[in-house]
Amino acid sequence: MCHVIVTCRSMLWTLLSIVAAFSELIAFMSTDWLVGFPRTPDAVFSPQGATAAGEAYRPTLGIYGRCIRLPHLRRGVLCGPYAVHFGEIASGFWQATSIFLAAGILLLSAVAFISVFTMCFQSIMKKSIFNVCGLLQAIAGLFLILGLMLYPAGWGSDKVQGYCGPDASPYQLGLCSMGWAFYTALGGTVLTFICAVFSAQAEIATSSDKVQEEIEEGKSLICLL
């Protein structure tokens, strides 16, 4: 018989696991890892004459994408991948960052998917599903840390110097500033380790004496604070 067990701690762990996975995915896909130095688009020349250069803006650069402003575009900002193939990513360090972040996100996504079903299934192959997921989250967190540590090592690439000036070098930003995507990835990494630790509390909550008493009474839906 399938018992649906819902507790505050297990639901909180599920919610945080989903948030951690989404935050890392959104950060990885974003172009706002680095914010370049202010610049002004060049003047546009047309048969009607030259138009004045646009107002200053700051382009952004992600791991594999970028946002720039082109004066001849009506919408102004053009965002998209600058790297069509994996080998075109700005530096080898960023390629390694992509691999580690992608591995971490894959594990977090799997855990987020599984966490939705922990209300009905609390074990897998005679192992606590919460403990297994917590272990996967810890491994994902290590991948994410490695990716974030390698990311600044790629700041010396030609691509980054085009956005941050010639003074940009490994672990030196030059004229750039960090964008929200980096901080989102960092926060998601911290949340990942919190989820890994909190999974033990979710396991305790769903296997407590109160839960066992409810099961012995024949209840199939068990909701506890």
Closest CA to 2 of 219, 224, 225: 219
Using the structure block, give the residue that is written with the tokens 């691999």. 99
Tell me, which fold does domain 4-30+89-224 have in CATH? Butyryl-CoA Dehydrogenase, subunit A; domain 3 (1.20.140)
Identify residue 19 by its one-letter amino acid code: V
Q: Count other Cβ atoms within 10 Å, centred on residue 40.
A: 13
pLDDT digits over 158-180, tens only?
Answer: 999 999 999 999 999 999 999 99
**pLDDT per residue over 47-95, tens digit each?**
443 344 556 778 999 999 999 877 666 666 788 899 889 999 999 999 9
By the 8 A CB rule, do 206 and 122 touch? Answer: yes
Q: Which amino acid is at 79?
A: C
Greatest C-alpha distance within the chain: 85
Of 117, 136, 113, the C-alpha closest to 196 is: 136
Domain segments of the chain as ranges: 4-30+89-224
